[in-house]
Structure 1
Amino acid sequence: MNENFIAEALASLSQADTDVARALAQVGHPPPRIRPAGFETLLHTIVSQQISVEAARAIMGRLRTLVDPLTPQQLLEFDTESLRQAGLSARKVEYAQGLAAAICNKDLDIESLGTMDDESAIAAITQLRGFGRWSAEIYLMFSLQRVDIFPADDLALRIALGRMKGLDKPTPKQCRELTAHWSPWRSVGSLLLWHYYRGAPT
């Protein structure tokens, strides 16, 4: 989803939803969000849970220094204490080792995720401990560049959609209903909502 794709999709969404058109006029186009597909991005998803962006970046830096190269096979060479000293909690060490083992054992075929439909790819990722639907949807959006994903459990998205629509704290179910007509561009609509969350007048 590059800048041109986002612009074209938002033009279509603006015609389908006047609230999108108004928000787009207020905050402009959101930037693309592209992350490489693969083990390191999935590992980063585990690392970043419930901590700041800065803390997650620091821990990933220490992991890259410790586990070089940062591959599933290499990570499994390190014991729990070594990974704890890099900054991972005991639970996150468990999740990281589980992810690495699933890839090494072929329980998760990262390459095949790109050929699956959205729901099948989400199901394959969420079978792993430490990965809920939100984590899987974010991976599909940013790493697999799937264009019709709406992570309705994301609090910032729900707050932004509520502001956009003049509603107070819509539920995930309500958010899915409110954005159903954004299909097949719901990922781009989500990018706009995150952008709107940061820049919209309150």
Structure 2
Amino acid sequence: MAVSIRITEKSDSVRHLSSVDGKMKSLIRSIGAIEYHCDFDSYEFLVKTIIGQMLSNKAADVITQRFEKICGGVVTPQAVSGLSVADLRGVGLSNSKAGFILQLTENVLSEKLNFSIFEAMSDAEVLKALTALNGIGPWSAKMYLIFMLCREDVLPYEDGAFLQAYSWLYPMVGQKPSEIAAACAHWRPYSSIAARYLYKALDMGMTKGLPPE
């Protein structure tokens, strides 16, 4: 069951971001309230995240649809466990991604990986646990924290979509991870919410024009 969260001008996160960042304040005012959902199928989320690594959204969607089809329409550990590397290669996955997905599946079925404990763990602890898995790097782990666990203070500077929107709103700021981390320190403890507004600007096509003033 997914949880729906609505962020408005009265939310603590918006009040904070608007008070410390003039550009973000203008962006939030232009976009208004946002609503998002936190998913709870951790296995499917990570599988699809692995599929999407280093791919365009369009390419990832095509492969994901093929993958879902050979799983019988629903991506579960049980369905994937019956597939081979050759099966996964057949839908367009690389050999390494196929191996990562099958290893993830084995870890879930053997209960070596227990997603239920993540809820009580800190962001750093979840990042450490996830990046210890083959095929899960910082980008994948941060996407999990933001979109699965709905953590509010994750800065996804490894993400291409975030960087695209960030460079649009802050064109004069350095784009190196250390520079972004320093420049966005004042967003804390709501870095993820700021990122969600940047993602929303990208989705709405706002980045094709000038940033709001």
Alignment map for 1:187-202 (pairs within 5 Å): 187-197=192-202, 198-200=205-207, 201-202=209-210
- Identity percentage of aligned residues: 26
Per the TM alignment, residue 185 of structure 1 is displaced from its structure 2 partner at its CA by 1.1
Distance 2:45 2:161 in 1: 21
TM-score, normalising length: structure 2: 0.83
8 Å contact from structure 2 (residues 155, 192) kept in 1: yes
8 Å contact from structure 2 (residues 7, 35) kept in 1: no
Q: Secondary structure at the match of 1:135?
A: helix
Superposed CA deviations along residues 13-53 of structure 1, whole A, max 9, x for unmatched, are 10122121122234444452533331111100011122232
8 Å contact from structure 2 (residues 166, 198) kept in 1: yes
Q: How many residues align?
A: 202
Q: Among 116, 131, 144, which residue is 1:111 paired with?
A: 116
Per the TM alignment, residue 62 of structure 1 is displaced from its structure 2 partner at its CA by 2.6
Per the TM alignment, residue 147 of structure 1 is displaced from its structure 2 partner at its CA by 1.1
Give the 3 Å change call, closer, same or farther, for CA 54–164 of structure 1 in structure 2.
closer
Does 1:177 pair with 2:191? no
Distance 1:64 1:165 in 2: 38
Q: Among 41, 64, 68, which residue is 1:64 paired with?
A: 68
TM-score, normalising length: structure 1: 0.87
Q: Among 17, 24, 35, which residue is 1:20 paired with?
A: 24
8 Å contact from structure 2 (residues 8, 33) kept in 1: no
Distance 2:117 2:68 in 1: 25
Q: Secondary structure at the match of 2:38?
A: coil
Q: Secondary structure at the match of 2:7?
A: helix
Richer in strand (by share):
2
